[in-house]
Structure 1
Amino acid sequence: MKPPCEIVVWYVIPAIRSELAKELLNLGMKQKDVSELMDITQPAVSQYITDKRGSGIKLDDNVRDMIKNFARQLSVGEATKADLISTTCKICNHVKLSDVLDQLNIDKSELGEDCQSCLGSEVN
């Protein structure tokens, strides 16, 4: 059993990045500009938008709306590259751990009490 923090690194953050890259491209940005903004390589952007990376889980509509709003803010200059980490963390905290564990077919009963703080949501 992977601890929830590892699940965040392997599944949640890549899913958020994938959605953000797709939204920025939909708003007219070029892959090179998206890569510079997100501080990732252009091939990583390509992998995110083709679902070769970051497609292991489906984010709920509320989280996707948060990502769309952030992408819009980035595209019009209301947010900057400096906001990327803090906003990604805020978005990540809205992802429900139980939904992610269900999608990955992980038994929640294997998690100890200390694991309940990850993702800002309840385990049970």
Structure 2
Amino acid sequence: MLAQELESKYLIPAIRKALVELMLEENIKKKDIANRLKLTKSAISQYFSDKRGNNFVFDKTLAKTCCDNIVSGSNYVKEIQKLIRNLKVSRKICEIYRINNLRPDDCEVCGNGISG
């Protein structure tokens, strides 16, 4: 599986779930969370009830700064992209994929799986 496929299928939903949990812990209403993350209220409920984003281990504390910035008004897409970029630079992404028994075929971070 390509790195982008892993991100879209596993990592981004896990990040969204973490963001929903963090915002709910801050007593932000589901409607407001949905508006900030450009999701439906039913999607927020599915993340909260483990029907979405639950098949991937992700430490929600890694998303705390991202959450704080979104709550402060930053664009959610830019903040999620920044978080993923930071996970790659710090190589934490490698540990996240290892914990989940996944490895991209074209890993740009550690070079695993890159042929040539």
Q: TM-score range by the shorter chain?
A: 0.7 to 0.9
Aligned to 1:91: 83
In structure 1, the gaps of 5 or more residues are none
Q: Which 4+ residue blocks in structure 1 deviate beyond 6 angstroms?
A: none
Distance 1:74 1:6, change over 3 A: closer
Aligned pairs for 1:30-109 within 5 A: 30-60=29-59, 64-75=60-71, 78-80=72-74, 83-93=75-85, 94=87, 96-106=92-102, 108=103
- Normalization by structure 1: what TM-score? 0.73
Structure 2 unaligned blocks of 5 or more: none
Structure 1 vs Structure 2 CA RMSD: 2.2
Q: Percent identity?
A: 25
TM-score by length of 2: 0.77
When residues 5 and 73 of structure 1 are mapped into structure 2, their CA distance, relative to the original with a 3 A threshold, is closer
- Higher fraction of helix: 1
